[in-house]
Amino acid sequence: MALRWAMVSSTKGPMSVRLAADRLDTHLREAGLMPGDRLLPERQLTALLGVSRRALREALGELELQGRIWRGVGQGTFLGPKPAGATTRPEPRARASNPLAIMEARLTLEPALAALAAMKATAADIDSIARAAGRGAETRDETSWGLWDGAFHSAIAAACHNPLLLAAFQEVEASRAQTDWGRLRAAITTAPMRQASALEHLAISAAIARRDAAAAQRAMRGHLQSVSLAIQDEGSGCDDLPEPRNQHAEAHATTVEPPERAASRRTSRP
């Protein structure tokens, strides 16, 4: 039977998260859960483990990044890696055809999300955003960077507390799986690029924390423009874009009439 601890209110910060992680590990062992079993709701876990909800969420986030649990929207939290057939976000109805199209969608959506997050984020949201930005800045490899980069942008979308906007963000994110984004990320996320992006993340996080919506929007736009330029420099994602139209030629074609047609029109007039 799972243990029950007394609430510890004096422990804060990283120690609180470490305590929550240790107690959560013990609970999972004692409860005898098997892969695929659903964990208790957060409210019950906080009472059972005697930790704050914020500390519990950070501990759960660590386990999710490690692949030890997975969470489904509206489904709950489950032990073990996510099954191949499980869906944790809406299936995109429209598939972006290339990375640049995805970046165009992100540039349209995410600056607005950053601004809204600056206005609506709770203290826990701000902590989650700052933590993801900070952990991303500490990474030294492309795989870890990818995990914390995704966690950072997802935390901002969640901080808007708008299900429709969150669904739109998740749809764009899901579209990335349909392109060669993995190969592209490995090509563009060099150490200097990761360092620059980490600083941009920290600037976005700081703007959200001080409730400066305009600054958060500008910082997010600048960050995504940097990523988009890196993709263009890599020369990827442009192969299936439509050829640019020659507007001058089209205008000329619509205003210049073939001689034989003009002659026929003149002779047919009464």
Mean pLDDT of the chain: 78
Which CATH number covers residue 144? 1.20.120.530
Predicted local confidence at residue 62, as pLDDT: 84
* Residue 225 is assigned to a structural domain of this protein: yes
Same domain, 209 and 105: yes
Same domain, 58 and 26: yes
pLDDT average, residue stretch 8-28 = 74
Which CATH number covers residue 48? 1.10.10.10
Q: Tell me which residue range forms the domain holding 144.
A: 99-234
Reported confidence tier of residue 157, pLDDT bands at 50, 70, 90: very high
Same domain, 117 and 187: yes
* Residue 260 is assigned to a structural domain of this protein: no
* Residue 257 is assigned to a structural domain of this protein: no
Same domain, 68 and 20: yes
Same domain, 108 and 41: no
Predicted local confidence at residue 210, as pLDDT: 98
Neighbouring C-beta atoms of residue 84, cutoff 10 Å: 5
* Angle subtended by helix axes 42-49 and 53-65, to nearest 10: 110
* Residue 201 is assigned to a structural domain of this protein: yes
Q: Up-side HSE of residue 69: CA atoms within 13 Å toward CB?
A: 24
String of b and e for 212-229 (b: at least 16 CB within 10 Å)?
bbebbbbbbbebbeebbe
pLDDT average, residue stretch 87-110 = 72
pLDDT average, residue stretch 157-169 = 91
Reported confidence tier of residue 226, pLDDT bands at 50, 70, 90: very high
The yes-or-no verdict on residue 259 having pLDDT over 50 is no
Last residue of a domain, one of 79, 113, 131: 79
Q: Count of domains in the chain? A: 2
Bridge-based pairing state of the strands 76-79 and 69-72: antiparallel
Neighbouring C-beta atoms of residue 82, cutoff 10 Å: 15
Highest mean pLDDT among 46-50, 137-141, 218-222, 230-234: 218-222
247 closest CA partner among 236, 238, 237, 255 = 255
* Residue 85 is assigned to a structural domain of this protein: no
Predicted local confidence at residue 145, as pLDDT: 86
Same domain, 68 and 186: no
Q: Express each pLDDT in 106-130 by its tens digit.
A: 999 999 999 999 999 999 899 989 9
> Which residues lie closer than 8 Å to 72 by C-beta, 6 or more apart?
78, 86, 87, 88
Q: Express each pLDDT in 186-222 by its tens digit.
A: 677 788 999 999 999 999 999 999 999 999 999 999 9
Q: How far apart are CA 38 and CA 31, in angstroms?
A: 11
Neighbouring C-beta atoms of residue 148, cutoff 10 Å: 21
Of residues 266 and 38, which shows the higher confidence score?
38
- Alpha carbon distances (Å) from 235 to 97, 188, 243: 15, 11, 16
Same domain, 54 and 130: no
* Residue 151 is assigned to a structural domain of this protein: yes
Give the angle 102-107-112 at the CA atoms, nearest 5°.
Answer: 130
> Which residues lie closer than 8 Å to 205 by C-beta, 6 or more apart?
126, 129, 130, 133, 152
Which pTM does this prediction carry?
0.61
